[in-house]
Structure 1
Amino acid sequence: MDAEIEVRDVARRYQKGGVQALEGVSLRLAPGTFTAVIGPSGCGKSTLLKLIAGLEAPDAGEVRLAGQPPEAFRAGGGLGIAFQDAALLPWRSVEANVAFPLQVLGRSRRAHAARIRELIALVGLEGREGALPGQLSGGMRQRVAIARALVSDPQVLLLDEPFAALDQILRRTMTIELQRIWAERRITTLLVTHGIEEAVFLADQVVIMQGGPGRIAAIVPVPFARPRGPELFADPAFHALCESLMAQLAPIADSR
C-alpha cells in the first residue's frame, strides 16, 4: 500500500550562517500521487526533501510517512531516493548497483533476482545488466539510479533534480520515461526540480516555494489526464499552465 506523507508546521535552521531554511511548512501528499516542488535556488526545496527522507531533523514541527517517523520508515525499506548525481558504485555492474539497497537492508539478492531483472527492463536497460557505470551514458546512469531507488519496493519515492545534469533533449526523454515508470507503480512521489515543464508533465500538483525563510507560496493542481504522452508538450493548455507558474515564480525570484 502506498503511503501518505505529512509535513506539519516544520521549521529548519542551519546554525552555520544562521540561515532559516524553512519556517511553518505544512504539506500533505496523498497516497499514490505525484507532487513536484519548484522555486528559486535557496528557497528550501532540497531541505524539505531531506527532512522527509529523514536525512535531517526539523527544529520544529514533525514529518510522518505512513504515520511513522522518516528514519523508521526508511529503515524498513519503505523509501526510495534518487539525487541529481546518480552516485553509482563504479566497480559494480548495473545489476549489482540496482541490488545495492537490498544489501544495506540485509535482504537476499538471490531471492530478489527476478525483481532486479524486472526493474532493469522497466528502465529500458535490458541487456546491459553487466555493464559498468563508466560504459553508460548520463541518461542510462540516471535510469540505473531510479531502478535502484525502486528495488526495495518502496511506498515513497523522493527525487531531487534527477535530470538536472542532462541536456534538454535527453531531459525531456527521461521525463517521459519517468512518467511511464511511475505509472507502473503509482508510488507516492515527490520531485524537486527547477524545470517547470518537467513539473507540469509529471505531477498531480505543483508546490511553489519561496525563500527568506523557505515556505509554501502556492499549491497548483495539474488538470491533465493520464497517461500523458509527448504530444502534451505541444498543447496550448500545457503552455498556458507553465506560463502561469512562471508568472507566479517571477516576483518570488525578484524579491530575493
Structure 2
Amino acid sequence: MHHDQGIHLRSVCKTYRGRGADVEALRDMNLDCAPGSFTALIGPSGCGKSTAMRIALGLEDYDTGEVRIAGHPPAAATASGVTGVAFQDAALLPWRTVARNIALPLEVLGRDPAKHGHEIAKLIDLVGLKGYETALPGQLSGGMRQRVSIARSLITEPEVLFMDEPFGALDQIRRRQMNVELQRIWMESGSTALLVTHGIDEAAFLADYVVVMHANPGRVVEIIEVPFERPRRNELYSAPAFHALCDRIAKVLHGE
C-alpha cells in the first residue's frame, strides 16, 4: 500500500465518564481527508470537533475505532513532525524572537535549527513577516502572532496540518485577509489540512469539504462539497453562490 498522507478516522467512539451522566463526545465518527485536501469541521460547542482533533493529534485516547494520520498512529505522527498544529492561542514563547519561535518544533524533534536557517527565512517570507525575524511576540499584533504560529506549524514540512480556530480572536476583516493568506500558504505547502472553526463563511471559503457535526452525541451529520475554484479571492465573499452555500451549511448546522 502506498504511503497515504491523508487523515482517517474510522468508527471512532469516545465517552467521557462522569460521576452523574456519561457524555458521549463522539459516536461512530468517520472522517476521510484525502491527501492534499482541505477539510473544515464545523458544529456547535460540545459537538466533539475539538475532541476529534485532539484524538487525531494523539493528545487524547478513544474508546473504539481506528485512527491513521499519514499512515501513522496519531501520537507517532505528532512525535515525528509529520503533523503541524496551529491553535487559536498562538502560544508563542515571549522571550524568543519570531525566528526562534518558528524553530521550536525542530528543537523538540532534536534537529539543529542552525541548519534550517534557509527554511525558517523562507517561511517568514511566506507568512509575510520579512523584517520581523528578531522581533519578540510582545511587539507584534494578534494577526502577526498568528502568522508566526502558522509558520511554526509548517517548519517540519508536515504532511498534515491541524488548525483549531486559528483566527478566532481576530475581527472579521482581518480574518478574511488571513483566510486568503492561509489558502495561499496551504496551497504552496501541499499538506492535508483540517480546520476546526465556528465560522461558516471561513469554512466555505477555505475548504474543499465542510463536515458538519451535531452534539449529544457528537457525530457527523453531513459532508458538503465546496465547488469554488482555487485560488479563491476576496470577491468570493460577496458572490451569490457563496451566500447560497453558506445558507445551506447553516441549515444543516441548525438541524433544519
Does TM, normalized by the shorter one, top 0.5?
yes
| Aligned mates of 1:16, 1:81 — CA distance in 2 | 29
Q: What pairs with 1:79-228 in structure 2 (closer than 5 Å)?
A: 79-228=83-232
Matching of residue 57 in structure 1 with residue 66 in structure 2: no
Partner AA of 1:8 in structure 2: R
Output one character per residue of 1:217-237: Cα deviation in whole Å (capped at 9) or x when no partner.
000000001111111111110
TM-score, with length taken from structure 1? 0.96
Output one character per residue of 1:7-49: Cα deviation in whole Å (capped at 9) or x when no partner.
0100111224521110100111100000001111110010000
Specify the alignment match of 1:8 in structure 2.
10
Deviation for aligned residue 1:114: 0.3
Output one character per residue of 1:33-77: Cα deviation in whole Å (capped at 9) or x when no partner.
000011111100100000111111111111101221011111111
| Aligned mates of 2:166, 2:77 — CA distance in 1 | 22
Select 1:46's aligned residue among 44, 50, 64.
50
Select 1:237's aligned residue among 241, 247, 256.
241
| Aligned mates of 2:178, 2:80 — CA distance in 1 | 29
Which moved further from structure 2: 30-39 or 57-66? 57-66
| Aligned mates of 2:117, 2:223 — CA distance in 1 | 40
| Aligned mates of 1:221, 1:51 — CA distance in 2 | 24
Select 2:80's aligned residue among 67, 76, 81.
76
Specify the alignment match of 2:37 in structure 1.
33
Deviation for aligned residue 1:2: 6.8
- Asked whether the equivalents of residues 2 and 32 of structure 1 are also in contact (C-alpha less than 8 Å), the reply is no
Partner AA of 2:147 in structure 1: R
Deviation for aligned residue 1:178: 0.5
| Aligned mates of 1:108, 1:133 — CA distance in 2 | 22
Q: What's the C-alpha RMSD, in Å, of the aligned pairs?
A: 1.1
Runs of 4+ in structure 1 deviating by more than 3 angstroms, as ranges, are none
Specify the alignment match of 2:23 in structure 1.
19
- Asked whether the equivalents of residues 2 and 188 of structure 1 are also in contact (C-alpha less than 8 Å), the reply is no
- Asked whether the equivalents of residues 2 and 187 of structure 1 are also in contact (C-alpha less than 8 Å), the reply is no
Q: Percent identity?
A: 59
Partner AA of 1:98 in structure 2: I
Between the two proteins, the alignment pairs up a number of residues equal to 252
TM-score, with length taken from structure 2? 0.96
| Aligned mates of 1:26, 1:171 — CA distance in 2 | 29
- Asked whether the equivalents of residues 157 and 189 of structure 2 are also in contact (C-alpha less than 8 Å), the reply is no
Deviation for aligned residue 1:166: 0.8
Partner AA of 1:24 in structure 2: D
Partner AA of 1:213 in structure 2: P
Partner AA of 1:152 in structure 2: T
- Asked whether the equivalents of residues 211 and 224 of structure 2 are also in contact (C-alpha less than 8 Å), the reply is yes
